[in-house]
Amino acid sequence: MDSHLEQSIIELKELLRLDERTDIQELLDYMRVQDIAHALMEVGEHDLGVVFNLLEPGRKADVFSYLETPHQMRLLEASPRDDARFILSEMDADDLTGLLQTLDPETLRAYLRLLPFRAIRRALKQLNYPEDSAGRVMSPDVVAVDPDWSLRRALAFIRRNADEHSNNVIFVVDQDRVLLAAVPIRHFLRAASDRPVRELLSDADPITIGVSESAVEAARKIQHYDLETLPVVGETGELLGVITVDDVMDVLEAESTEDFHKIGAVGTLPLSPQDASPFLLYRKRVGWLLGLVAFNTIGALMISQYEEAIEALVVLVFFLPLIVDSGGNAGAQSATLMVRALATGEVTSRDWLRLWGKELGVAVGIGVTMGLAVSVLGLWRGGADIALLVAIAMTLIVAFASMVGMLLPFILNRMKLDPATASVPLITAIADLGGIMIYFSLAVALLGLATP
């Protein structure tokens, strides 16, 4: 957190304690709306409404848009009906959609009744687009000009609608609102004012995103083409809205958070851990853990089949967790690398064979290195035969687990499932089962122990 913002929050809390409301208003006047929103989320639930109501009416909707959903809901529930109507009506369309899509049907209907008819129709239209699509995160408030207008007329139109135009690109559409071009505004300013807009158009097709395409794909396009804004179009190419850099930053943050939750075997968590109830955290985590308990029971049953071998050579138990856990760690590394590469588009499903060969070489190299290291311990604890066993077992188990960790995300991707579902606990569990089988099979083969 910025030191200046941190100091402002400390000052705000002290003023709240002293109930110096005039001083609080003066402090808020000098703070940016983003900083005010951050400060509001740092104060207590009671003080949240107190500070928010001290804001100038014109700043309330701006601050409200930067609050996290739980804080927005608390304010709306505590606000008089007219205040709630004002806040919702003043919100940008994409911010309003982001809030409404988190509500249950009954609450959604209640808040829609507060909006004017035009805003209701627009909100319902955006909510009708697929979840996580470009249509859900776009702003439909976009200025576009006609190619047959003069630059003077186009600039006058842009000035009149400046509140709805917040980027450095001017969109040019035909009579059916089909997007023809996205022209940097500097071209409008440099050219003679009596020239038609059509003369500024280039032969290159504008870069667009379909309204039903993934919002993550929109983020990738903005990053790849280094865009400030990305126009969203319908099936026939009509301009429907625009996605800006700040929109895709929110999308990428949400996507990364969801992937981390899945990799850690936690169900998708709609709230931060600070705002989530203990029961919600319990419910999101316990399912996976119970499933993994059942999965790991198989490993315990497998070990029980080698009781005679363990009784004959107890030292095998000493190395079991060391070797098997090393395989799980290696598999988790491979899975994390592949899940992230698939998520960012750095690799695709077609790359699996080339990456498989590379990962196999790396995994064998790591396994041999770890095998040599653990063989020293094996020589000390059990002699040359145990040293050879643990060295070979470590090499094979690390290679096996790495292959599982690398291939599983590709398999899930091919099955149209989220690669992040290849969670670290799942990879570790699979690696444990394979590691137990490899370790004891080698022990039986190399040391001549009783077979299961």
Among 7-11, 148-152, 350-354, top mean pLDDT goes to 148-152
To 5 degrees, how large is the angle CA 325–CA 377–CA 381?
110
Contact in structure between 379 and 386 (CB atoms under 8 Å)? yes
Higher pLDDT, 432 or 260: 432
Cα 440 to Cα 452: distance, rounded to the nearest angstrom: 9
| pLDDT confidence of residue 174 | 93
List all residues 6 or more positions away from 124 whose beta carbon is below 8 Å from its beta carbon: 112
Q: What is the DSSP string of 417-445?
A: S-GGGS-HHHHHHHHHHHHHHHHHHHHHH
Structure tokens at 409: 């995300």
Q: Evaluate if residue 16 carries a pLDDT over 80.
A: yes
Q: Determine the average pLDDT of the residues in 324-337.
A: 84
Q: Evaluate if residue 253 carries a pLDDT over 70.
A: no
**Which single residue is written with the structure tokens 């992937």?**
259
Q: Determine the average pLDDT of the residues in 118-133.
A: 85
Query: Could you give the domains of the chain?
Result: 3-128 (1.25.60.10), 144-245 (3.10.580.10), 278-447 (1.10.357.20)
Q: Evaluate if residue 9 carries a pLDDT over 80.
A: yes
Burial 236-267 (b: 16+ CB within 10 A, else e): ebebbbbbbeebbeebbebbeebbebbbebbe
Beta-carbon-side half-sphere exposure of residue 60 (alpha carbons within 13 Å): 23
Q: What is the DSSP string of 373-414?
A: HHHHHHHHHH-HHHHHHHHHHHHHHHHHHHHHHHHHHHHHHH
Contact in structure between 393 and 327 (CB atoms under 8 Å)? no
Q: Determine the average pLDDT of the residues in 445-452.
A: 68
Q: Determine the average pLDDT of the residues in 19-35.
A: 89
Cα 396 to Cα 114: distance, rounded to the nearest angstrom: 64
End-to-end Cα spacing for the chain: 59
Length of the chain, please? Answer: 452
Q: What is the pLDDT confidence band of residue 420, given thresholds at 50, 70 and 90? A: low
Report the DSSP beta bridge partners of residue 229: 244
Report the DSSP beta bridge partners of residue 304: none
Phi/psi at 313 (5° precision) = -145, 85
- DSSP character at residue 207: P
Task: Output the pTM of the full model.
Answer: 0.62
- DSSP character at residue 313: -
Contact in structure between 119 and 85 (CB atoms under 8 Å)? no
Cα 398 to Cα 362: distance, rounded to the nearest angstrom: 10
Contact in structure between 191 and 200 (CB atoms under 8 Å)? yes
Secondary structure element (H or E) that encloses residue 249, with its range: helix 245-263
Instruction: From residue 434, give the alpha-carbon distance in Å to each of 287, 376, 396, 428.
Output: 23, 24, 10, 10
Cα 171 to Cα 192: distance, rounded to the nearest angstrom: 19
| pLDDT confidence of residue 409 | 82
Q: What is the 3-state secondary structure (H, E, C) of 348-366?
A: CHHHHHHHHHHHHHHHHHH
Cα 449 to Cα 441: distance, rounded to the nearest angstrom: 10
Residue type, 203: D
Residue type, 46: H
Lowest mean pLDDT among 21-25, 54-58, 213-217, 426-430: 426-430
Cα 100 to Cα 112: distance, rounded to the nearest angstrom: 9
Cα 398 to Cα 320: distance, rounded to the nearest angstrom: 13
CA 171, 253, 214, 90 dihedral sign is: negative
| pLDDT confidence of residue 377 | 86
Q: Evaluate if residue 85 carries a pLDDT over 90.
A: no
- Name the average pLDDT for the chain: 82
Q: What is the pLDDT confidence band of residue 173, given thresholds at 50, 70 and 90? A: very high
| pLDDT confidence of residue 102 | 82
Contact in structure between 371 and 424 (CB atoms under 8 Å)? no
Q: Would strands 169-173 and 144-145 be described as parallel, antiparallel, or unpaired?
A: parallel
pLDDT in tens, 365-379: 998 999 898 889 888
Secondary structure element (H or E) that encloses residue 297, with its range: helix 278-304
pLDDT in tens, 263-306: 555 555 555 555 566 766 566 666 666 666 676 677 777 777 77
